[in-house]
Homo-oligomer: A and B are copies of this chain.
Amino acid sequence: MSRSARGGSSAIPDVYLVGAGQSDYGAFPDESYRSLFRTAYEAAVESAGGVDPGDVDEAVLGTLGVGGRQLGLPGPAVTEHVGLHGVTCTRVENACAASGYALRQAVMAVKSGMADLVLAGGVEVMTDMSTEATKYWLGVSGETEWERLAGTTFSGVYAQMADAYLREYDVPREAMSHVAVKSHANGAKNPHAHLRFTCTVDDAESGTVVADPLTLYHCCPTSDGAAAVFVASEEVAQSYDDKVKITGVGAASDRVGLFQRDSYTSVPASKAAGDEAYEMAGISPGDLDFAEVHDCFSIAELLAYEDLGFCERGEAGDLALSGTTAIDGELPVNTSGGLKSKGHPIGATGAGQAVEAFKQLTGGAGERQLDDPQRGLTHNVGGSGGAAVVHVFEREDAEPAGSTDGAEGGE
């Protein structure tokens, strides 16, 4: 328990990331969910310049179910494994947004005064399964009765969104392919990425059709991996060298089944989560210097551009084609490679996005380091939009919102 919980009423603290790390994302038949999480934990500890396990008040683990290995109590199973004996660990799940919500819960734990230092992370093991089992594990996050049991896969759901979007706004499929090319170009520079190769628009366009209009290059891989971050109160953060302030948090839910929603060409939960995060942070989309968005399929990145206010409705294709969201553009998106190239170990994805934000804002992004970014956003979606969570991160010495050269836009 933190000092403030013991000491009675005090002010709600500001919250910081003080360390962040991840395992490689990929196919690792010799790893377990515990060993992967340990790798991420140790990387986060190292990035924080060392963390005394006795200082950790709490942990939150996001996972869809560690590939069925430990369906109940995976939280304590991983924290005990990394040496945080006795530290309470809560598992949270909102499908592919599990660890985005774990991070949000860690923020709440610190702001509540009930914890001063919280480990938030996620892990998934997905490749050591038959194709049928993997389909099941992914499918369970779709609406069960009328999507999964009727045979609809996630590729099918997002293909319906893509088809509707491309038709409604008369956008060429090449726009999705440009997103894929950009993701791979960035991921090729990320030593932790699953698919570290570049590709061309022709490759993407001529790829095997998974679910029309999506080709293989428009779909993220199935990955194993883990990611972890340390969230601290302002007071505790002073003990750490690198600090990134979490200034905005937003989250929203929606009907789980795509067929239950009014539109196939936007994700209302993303828009609501983004609006809430911007309001809390006191910024607008134009104040961002980069974003990590949830591109499980390339169409999802286009929809995110619009739902998060990077451009107007129907203009995401132009934004992608113009290079604005490339690593050398005005608003780089998915410098990590995104889910498409970095990989998508379901429970790890949201925390992994926060790892990239931490690295970019502390100058640790290596070959894909942006030039002096002040402020970034992460956006993590569950299922086809049944849940979405957005965080805004700022450098401690960030210039005030409105003064930076972010992208223009917003509805």
Contact = CB atoms under 8 A, between A and B. Distances in A.
A258 interface: no
B114 A76 contact: no
Contact of A112 (B93, B95, B111, B383): B111
A256 to B, nearest CB: 5
A6 to B, nearest CB: 6
A335 B94 CA distance: 34
Interface string A259-280: 0100000001100110010011
A9 interface: yes
A253 B76 contact: yes
A interface majority secondary structure: mixed
Contact of A91 (B88, B93, B143): B93
Contacts of A6: 279-280
Interface stretch (A63-71, A207-215, A310-318): A63-71
B11 A249 contact: no
B5 A86 contact: no
A356 to B, nearest CB: 23
A141 to B, nearest CB: 3
B89 A91 contact: no
Contact of A77 (B107, B113, B249, B256): B256
B111 A113 contact: yes
Nearest to A80: B255
Given A11-B10, A77-B256, A90 B94 contact: yes
A143 B1 CA distance: 27
Interface in A124-146: 140-144
B251 A71 contact: no
B88 A12 contact: no
A73 B11 contact: no
Interface of A: 1, 4-6, 9-12, 14, 58-59, 64-65, 69-73, 75-77, 79-80, 85-95, 101, 104-105, 107-114, 140-144, 249-256, 260, 268-269, 272-273, 276, 279-280, 382-383, 386-387, 389
